[in-house]
Amino acid sequence: MNSVPAYPGIHLQTQPCNGSKHRPLRSTRGGPSHVGIIGAGLAGLRCADALLQKGVRVTILEARDRIGGRICQGDIGGASVDLGPNWIHGTANNPIVNISKQTSTVTRSWESPQTVIDSSGQPLDAVTTARLSDFMWTTIDKALEYSQNHAATIPPDLSLFDYFREEVEKTAFTQPEKEACLELSKLWGSYIANLFVASTYKNILHSVAKPALQGAEVHLSDPVVSVEAALRKPDAAHHVTVHTASGQRYMFDEVVATFPLGWLKQNKSAFSPALPARLSKAIDNISYGHLEKIYVRFPDAFWHTESRECQRNSDNGADEADRSTSVPVFTQFLNPTYTDHPPTPFWNQECVSLAALPESCAHPTLLFYLYGSCASQIVHQLSSIPPTSKEYHEILNDFLHPFYSRMPGYSPASASCKPVGFLATKWQLDPWSGNGSYSNFQVGLEEGDRDIEIMREGIGIERGVWFAGEHTAPFVALGTTLGAYWSGELIAEKVYEMLSGKEGQKQGEL
Ligand SMILES: Cc1cc2nc3c(=O)[nH]c(=O)nc-3n(C[C@H](O)[C@H](O)[C@H](O)COP(=O)(O)OP(=O)(O)OC[C@H]3O[C@@H](n4cnc5c(N)ncnc54)[C@H](O)[C@@H]3O)c2cc1C
């Protein structure tokens, strides 16, 4: 799958907010309509822009002291890096790609050399890696096509891994190659056409946020604690009341709630009256991921430059000629038996070399992605340890050393191969990201598509509370920045229809 269709049915105006061609809509309570948006992440900001363009008054309530939600940056050795997203998924007809171009954001395409380290810690040779990689790209495409065409008949407990197992058995690979394929399939996200956002998501965020910051009232550092929304009554004024932690009370005509799915799971009692049972079940059904990242910085990108010292002291057994030609951008470590780890089914790792980014953004840093219980273990080990402490450095180095020391060019004696900085995310400890990363469909889910649709419908028509965010996105973009952006647009359209009376008319016609 390497293209994302344009989102159907969205035709927003592009006038600046203060030059809106729309007449202000009247609230059922008198005065101009007023929409409250909870959350200043990509979905909330995009929604605000779309409503402002239609002349609607907008107030944004945000828990953090900044905008952007899961889009934010940290610093490693003077380089700015994304703590949340750093890929743009799907490149065709993708508004995030367009914004990246308009904002001179530097991106890097995915066509890059790849290295695979097998379970004994040895690199696979280039020919085998290329064969396995071809198989992965082809099989992912087939799997996605199969799942689109047979969605209704695929048993819920059939996983992508099962599909791979069947496909790999049809190949002429050797047994170790088949096993390597199955381990690679656990990291299947790497085999989707993506762009790496080399200069970070910062300019993209600022571009999306600009109209909202200019045209909406934005309240930071004041989490919403409750949302009261009774049923609409025909021909009666309607409002939604929102309470914040500081004791503020706001009354809006409509509310768009972009709480992350993880927050909703833990705070369903914030809504009164209670959410309908089917919506509550949908929130429970869709799972919420635990992706974390660790950046590790070195004095030099030893894995790119075959320094004399590294060559002389090399102890990783790799052939010199092989190493001098291999410049890994993306490295995957399969089922590592060379490091102690808890008996969990998944300890595979993958990392991207930021030294391979375009020159203006390159720095000698490896970015590791951590998943599942592995991510949870590291985050909890680090939970109360200051990032500047020796202990923080030691915990992360103990964890990563078995991996980076398998990179080509590594030498234990070389100063170039000793980390000078670490930066680890802790999304699982962050209540405002819902203690996790983004929504996903887990194996065994029976009505995932319907669950997403139900969250997308929210209780807007009945009670004036509409949900947006990556977890309500069009299916093709669930869990992504693109999905969050689209969901904000989509919900703005629906809210506007309600405010302008069209939705009410539709209901009356039913
Ligand atoms: C580690 C990581 C890596 C990722 N990688 C990628 C990637 O490479 N590519 C990609 O496309 N996507 C990626 N994502 C997902 C992407 O970041 C999200 O899909 C997207 O940013 C979600 O936007 P949103 O507006 O839906 O939610 P958010 O950005 O979470 O916005 C919700 C807002 O609501 C606020 N909020 C929460 N609770 C309250 C409250 N009680 N009161 C008021 N405000 C509240 C939050 O502070 C936040 O600002 C990644 C996410 C993570 C965490």
pLDDT at 390 over 50: yes
Q: Is residue 90 part of a domain?
A: yes
Ligand 1 center–CA 69 separation, angstroms: 5
Q: At 9, is the pLDDT very low, low, confident or very high (cuts 50, 70, 90)?
A: very low
Average pLDDT in the 51-78 region?
97
Pick the more confident residue, 139 or 465: 465
Query: Are 164 and 139 in contact, with CB atoms under 8 Å apart?
Result: yes
80 CA from centroid of ligand 1 (Å): 19
Q: Would you say the CB of residue 427 lies under 6 angstroms from ligand 1? A: yes
Q: Are residues 161 and 246 in the same domain?
A: no
Q: Is 444 left (phi over 0), alpha (psi -120 to 50) or beta?
A: left
- Check residue 144 and give its pLDDT: 78
Task: Please tell me if the CB atom of residue 189 comes closer than 6 angstroms to any atom of ligand 1.
Answer: no
Span from the CA of 367 to the centroid of ligand 1 (angstroms)? 20
Tell which residue, 178, 174, 153, 151, has the closest CA to residue 164: 178
481 CB near ligand 1 (under 6 Å)? yes
Q: Which two three-digit tokens encode residue 130? A: 């290329």
What share of the chain has pLDDT > 70, as a percent? 87
Residue 47, CA distances (Å) to 36, 206, 256, 263, 416 in order: 11, 15, 8, 20, 47
**What ligand 1 atom has the least distance to the C-alpha of 471?**
26
* Per-residue model confidence (pLDDT) at position 2: 29
pLDDT tens digits, one per residue of 14-61: 233 334 556 667 777 667 899 999 999 999 999 999 999 999 999 999
Instruction: Using the predicted structure, report yes or no on whether residue 311 has a pLDDT greater than 50.
Output: no
Regarding whether 420 and 317 lie in a shared domain, the answer is yes
Asked, for residue 36, whether it belongs to a domain, the answer is yes
Give the model's pLDDT for residue 3: 29
Same structural domain, 64 and 208: yes
Calculate how far, in angstroms, residue 260's C-alpha sits from the geometric centre of ligand 1: 7
Q: Are residues 220 and 186 in the same domain?
A: no
Residue 20 alpha carbon to ligand 1 centre in Å: 29
Task: Locate the ligand 1 atom nearest the alpha carbon of residue 470 and give its number.
Answer: 26
Name, of 12-26, 160-174, 292-306, 452-466, the range with top average pLDDT: 452-466
Phi/psi at 99 (5° precision): -65, -40
- 440 vs 306 pLDDT, higher one: 440
pLDDT of 505 > 70? The answer is: no
* pLDDT tier at 323, thresholds 50, 70, 90: very low
The reply to whether ligand 1 has any atom less than 6 angstroms from the CB of 89 is: yes
* 467 in the same domain as 367: no
Q: CB of 71 closer than 6 A to ligand 1?
A: yes
Q: Which atom of ligand 1 is nearest to the CA of 45?
A: 25
Please check whether residues 232 and 377 belong to one and the same domain.
no
Is the same domain home to 339 and 382?
yes
What distance in angstroms lies between residue 67's CA and the mean position of ligand 1's atoms?
10
Write the pLDDT tens digit of every residue in 182-224.
Answer: 888 887 776 776 899 999 999 999 999 999 999 999 999 999 9
- Structure-token pair, residue 161: 């891994």
- In this structure, the residue with its CA closest to atom 1 of ligand 1 is 84
pLDDT tens across 469-496, in order? 999 998 889 999 999 999 999 999 999 9
Q: What is the CATH number of the domain that holds 265?
A: 3.50.50.60
Q: Is the CB of 224 under 6 A from ligand 1?
A: yes
Mean pLDDT score of the chain, rounded to an integer? 86
Pick the last residue of a domain from 403, 431, 459. Answer: 431
Q: Is the pLDDT of residue 322 over 50?
A: no
Q: Using CB atoms within 10 A of its CB, is residue 27 exposed (0-12), middle (13-18) or buried (19+)?
A: buried
In terms of residue numbers, what domain contains 357?
73-114+289-431
Between the CA of residue 79 and those of 63, 358, 364, what are the distances in Å? 27, 14, 10
Instruction: Among 242, 438, 456, 487, name the best residue to mutate to test ligand 1's pocket (greatest count of ligand atoms within 8 A of Cβ).
Output: 438
| CB distance 63 to ligand 1 below 6 Å | yes
* 320 lies in the same domain as 369: yes
Query: What mean pLDDT is predicted for residues 410-416?
Result: 96
User: How many domains is the chain partitioned into structurally?
Assistant: 3
pLDDT computed for residue 20 by the predictor: 52
345 within a domain of the structure (yes/no):
yes
Whether residue 61 has its Cβ less than 6 Å from ligand 1: yes
Domain end among 367, 398, 431: 431
129 CB contacts (<8 Å, ≥6 apart)?
A: 114, 115, 116
Closest C-alpha residue for ligand 1 atom 12: 480
Q: Assess whether 397 and 254 both reside in one domain.
A: no
Ligand 1 pocket, mutate which of 481, 487, 491 (most atoms under 8 A from CB) = 481
Where is average pLDDT lowest: 50-64, 108-122, 273-287, 466-480?
108-122
- Indicate if ligand 1 lies below 6 Å from the C-beta of 369: no
CATH of the domain at 383: 3.90.660
Out of 431, 462, 477, pick the residue that ends a domain.
431
What whole-number distance in Å separates Cα of residue 350 and Cα of residue 323? 19
Strand partners, 219: 61
Please, which pLDDT band fits residue 174 given cuts at 50, 70 and 90?
Answer: very high
ipTM above 0.90, yes or no: yes
- CA dist 42 to 7, 186, 276, 435, 488, Å? 16, 29, 27, 18, 8
Q: Is residue 1 part of a domain?
A: no
Over residues 358-376, the pLDDT tens digits come to: 999 999 999 999 998 899 9
Residue 14 CB-half CA count within 13 A: 1
In this structure, what are the phi and psi dihedrals at residue 45, rounded to the nearest 5 degrees? -70, -40
371 with 384, same domain: the answer is yes
Q: Is the CB of 469 under 6 A from ligand 1?
A: yes
Q: Measuring CA to CA, which residue among 463, 246, 198, 167 is closest to residue 353?
A: 198
Among residues 351, 379, 295, 291, the alpha carbon closest in space to that of 79 is found at 295
Q: Among 110-124, 203-217, 232-246, 265-279, which stretch is predicted with the lowest mean pLDDT?
A: 110-124
Q: Give yes or no for residue 326 CB within 6 A of ligand 1.
A: no
Is pLDDT at 344 greater than 80 in this prediction? Answer: no
502 shares a domain with 398? no
Q: Are 361 and 106 in contact (CB under 8 A)?
A: yes
CB of 86 sitting under 6 A from ligand 1: yes
Is the distance from the beta carbon of residue 435 to the nearest atom of ligand 1 less than 6 Å? no
Residue 122 covered by a domain: no
Q: Is the pLDDT of residue 507 over 50?
A: no
For residue 314, being part of any structural domain is answered with yes
Range with the lowest mean pLDDT among 57-66, 163-172, 254-263? 163-172
Q: With a 6 A CB cut-off, is 70 part of the ligand 1 pocket?
A: yes
Same-domain status, 226 and 260: yes
Please compute the mean of the pLDDT values over residues 494-509 and round it to a whole number: 71
Percent of the chain with pLDDT over 90: 65
Residue 123, in any domain of the structure: no
Nearest CA to ligand 1 atom 38: 432
